[in-house]
Chain A
Amino acid sequence: MTSYYKSRADYGDITSSFSPVFEKTACEYFGLKGDYTLFAQNVEKLEKQGVVLDVKKYQQDIIANAKIEGKSFDEIEGIV
């Protein structure tokens, strides 16, 4: 009698192959055309679409020892 065996392949998880999919999706969303050397131009595109990317402002928040709430990011982690 012939028997069949396969090792488990599906752990219900997202793996490293997610990176290129996320890259493509994010670029399409913000209209970035794959030229990833023009950081300033890309930042400008995102800001025009309402993304707050003022690094200095975020930095000041850290420097000012503002209480950084990890909770929001953790929530994103938890539900991903």
Chain B
Amino acid sequence: MKLRASFKNVKRSVPAVKTAIYTWFRKYLGSKTWPEEMILVQMVLAHNGNRKQFEEILASAIEAYKAVREKEILKRVEESEQFYDFEIAKESFFNQHTDERVEHEKFVYEPCYLSASRLNPEKNFEKFLTENSDKIVWWWKNGENKQDYFGIKYEYPAGVIHTFYPDYLVQLTDGRIGIIETKDMGDRDGGNYTKAKAEKLQEYIKEQKGKKLFGGIAIEKSGGWKINQKSVYSWDKCEKNDWNDWEKLKF
């Protein structure tokens, strides 16, 4: 019996499962009065004649628990979530072990330190930014899982809440601010997570009225960058080599 995808953290789960079993043995079979209670409960569970039945019970209980846990998580998310006016932090500290110094123009901080493990589409997009630096006031590389970073709430699948951290914010000389998420042409999440993010980003841009925002998923194709700003993100078209929903990214 193995845990389903939602309960992969075995180490954190074992104490709660053990407690549930011991509590049940005490409550219904009076194991509190058994000498060497815990050892005996373990022996009962592991006994060849018993084990199969208890494994069946555990499997059913874990299956039933999924819905309970999902509600619990949703409640915690609702309790902890915050919407706030975003500002890029005035200063940022680099990590000498994980970041590298890079020469880029118009990066929001001077000098420019970026994660050494960032992906190739990101590195290539940064080159593109430098090539277009005459049209850029500043650009900023977003991070993840901190309030210092810029996040957008989205759901995937329906009811499961995530935070989308787009890769870049770019302030242009014409006053517009670009919110860009880079991907490569082989994006495996194109039909699921990326689609959910892309469509949520377009909704977000519409909602933030009067802020001169634009943005979308950007992909480097045939030596240039293309952007998808459609309200419906149809990755299946790209898989059929139809790129009509994408336009050349120009600043």
Most buried by B among A3, A10, A17, A72: A3
Q: B150-158, B216-224, B238-246: which one contacts chain A?
A: B150-158
In contact, A5 and B6 (Cβ under 8 angstroms):
no
**How close is B138's CB to chain A, nearest CB, in angstroms?**
14
Which among B43, B151, B153 is the interface contact of A58 at CB below 8 angstroms?
B43
CA A15 – CA B12 in complex, angstroms?
8
In contact, A1 and B86 (Cβ under 8 angstroms):
yes
In contact, A52 and B44 (Cβ under 8 angstroms):
yes
Is residue B16 within 8 Å, beta carbon to beta carbon, of the partner chain?
yes
CA A26 – CA B147 in complex, angstroms?
43
CA A40 – CA B203 in complex, angstroms?
62
CA A79 – CA B11 in complex, angstroms?
10
Which among A6, A15, A68 is the interface contact of B81 at CB below 8 angstroms?
A6
Which of B's residues lie within 8 Å of A, judged by CB?
A: 1-3, 6-10, 12-14, 16-21, 23-24, 27-30, 34-36, 39-40, 42-47, 49-51, 53-58, 60-62, 64-65, 68-69, 72-73, 76-77, 80-86, 145-147, 149-153, 161, 163, 177, 208, 211, 213
CA A74 – CA B65 in complex, angstroms?
22
Interface size on A, residues (CB 8 A): 53
A:17-75 near B, CB below 8 Å: 17-19, 21-27, 29, 32, 36, 39, 42-43, 46, 49-53, 55, 58-59, 61-62, 68-70, 72-73
Most buried by A among B3, B28, B40: B28
List B contacts of A2 (CB < 8 A): 83-86, 208
List A contacts of B49 (CB < 8 A): 50-52
List A contacts of B73 (CB < 8 A): 9-10
Which of A's residues lie within 8 Å of B, judged by CB?
A: 1-19, 21-27, 29, 32, 36, 39, 42-43, 46, 49-53, 55, 58-59, 61-62, 68-70, 72-73, 76-80
CA A62 – CA B41 in complex, angstroms?
13
Given contacts A15-B72, A25-B64, A58-B43, contact A4 B27 (CB under 8 A): no
List A contacts of B35 (CB < 8 A): 59
Which among A12, A29, A46, A62 is the interface contact of B36 at CB below 8 angstroms?
A62
Question: Which residue on A lies nearest to B82, using beta carbons?
Answer: A5
Given contacts A18-B61, A77-B18, contact A5 B50 (CB under 8 A): no
